[in-house]
Homo-oligomer: A and B are copies of this chain.
Amino acid sequence: MVNGKDIVITSRIRLARNLKNYKFPIKMSSEESNNIISNTNEAMNHSGLKFKLIYMKDLSELDKNVLIEKHLISPALAENKHGGAILLSEDNKISIMINEEDHLRIQIIGTGMCLKECWEVANKVDDVLEEYLDYAFDKELGYITSCPTNIGTGMRASVMLHLPALSISNQTEKLLYGVSQLGVAVRGVYGEGTKSMGYLYQVSNQGTLGASEQTLIEKIEQIVWQIVDKEKRVREHMLKNNIDELEDEIYRAYGILTNARTIITDEAMKLLSYLKLGKEMDLIGKVKDKDLYELMVKIQPNSLLSTIDKDMTVKERDRKRAELIRNELLG
């Protein structure tokens, strides 16, 4: 019934790479940054895959914020208005941020738990790039990165988890503290601090040095499955002991989401999270065929704005959000 697949939303592998003979992006000239962009673009032409090259300078603030909300670029890249760019595959699953904190950040996103598969893709992209670019690599330290925390493999493996049961029962703080002792960072995906909007959390390795990529990935996987197991056990406990309250909360969430005329992101995320929980626990059948995580992304402020032509006030946006949710859930 409750399924690990439902709890693990996405997996992501990110490799930080830098080139020899160039300053780090924070200090480089626009000539240097343009060089890196065109060399990287050229290198990827040999990959056999189609990539779109997008310069940060060509994007509006809104466009950039949408890409951030979709986790395709980082806020740091968006801020590099002069030298920042991204190479994006057609399916949005492979992206190479150019001139973010590091010269290159190869990022692979996949659905569910698929760190190993993402790593394989990342590794191939890395091989293509390495063939044409001159990486900064030290035999002892590994890949040289702008921030020392990334030195070594330069790899960050992260997994996005939906943890409503642990959150509702106030067990996230303790759990997150526990895993941070194991060299793993956990943070909210949307919103600030440990009280994440929509109970979505990102789990990732903190260190990148002193272990192989495979070892790091296995460690993250192991910890993620432990967290997933805890979330499942709390769900089972709720089914046994609080099913009435839970069912009520979930139906109320559905009632509000399908009727509200105005709704802010925070409330919508919380209610969608309840609904997702209810769907996965077979407590509500009405949303069986709905991708609720996708809807969570769609209702983010900038993603929502991007679907509309005209400028909207916050109030209009909150009405539009309510309308979008009604249409998606009832449509």
Residues of A within 8 A of B (CB): 244-245, 247-248, 251-252, 254-262, 315, 319, 322
Q: Which residue in chain B gives the minimum CB-CB distance to A251?
A: B259
Q: Is the Cβ of B261 less than 8 Å from the Cβ of A247?
A: yes
Residue among A248, A254, A258 with the most chain B CB within 10 A?
A248
In whole angstroms, how far apart are the Cα atoms of A256 and B315 in the complex? 23
Q: Is the Cβ of B248 less than 8 Å from the Cβ of A255?
A: no
A-B contact pairs, 6 of them (CB 8 A): A244-B319, A248-B261, A248-B262, A252-B256, A254-B255, A254-B259
Q: Which residue in chain B gives the minimum CB-CB distance to A253?
A: B259
The residues of B that contact A255 with a CB separation of less than 8 Å are 252, 254-260
Closest beta carbon of chain B to A155's beta carbon, Å: 46
The residues of B that contact A257 with a CB separation of less than 8 Å are 255
Q: How many copies does the complex hold?
A: 2
Closest beta carbon of chain B to A268's beta carbon, Å: 13
> Apart from A247-B261, A255-B257, what 6 extra A-B contacts exist at CB < 8 Å?
A244-B319, A251-B260, A251-B261, A252-B255, A252-B259, A254-B259
In whole angstroms, how far apart are the Cα atoms of A244 and B322 in the complex? 12
Q: Which residue in chain B gives the minimum CB-CB distance to A243?
A: B261
Closest beta carbon of chain B to A323's beta carbon, Å: 12
In whole angstroms, how far apart are the Cα atoms of A256 and B244 in the complex? 15
In whole angstroms, how far apart are the Cα atoms of A251 and B247 in the complex? 21
In whole angstroms, how far apart are the Cα atoms of A262 and B243 in the complex? 12
Q: Which residue in chain B gives the minimum CB-CB distance to A263?
A: B248
The residues of B that contact A262 with a CB separation of less than 8 Å are 244-245, 248
Q: Is the Cβ of B258 less than 8 Å from the Cβ of A244?
A: no
Q: Is the Cβ of A315 less than 8 Å from the Cβ of B259?
A: no
In whole angstroms, how far apart are the Cα atoms of A244 and B261 in the complex? 8
In whole angstroms, how far apart are the Cα atoms of A256 and B247 in the complex? 13
Contact partner of A252 among B244, B247, B254, B260, CB < 8 A?
Answer: B260
Closest beta carbon of chain B to A271's beta carbon, Å: 10
Q: Which residue in chain B gives the minimum CB-CB distance to A254?
A: B259
Closest beta carbon of chain B to A262's beta carbon, Å: 5
In whole angstroms, how far apart are the Cα atoms of A245 and B247 in the complex? 27
The residues of B that contact A244 with a CB separation of less than 8 Å are 261-262, 315, 319
Residue among A244, A247, A259, A262 with the most chain B CB within 10 A?
A259
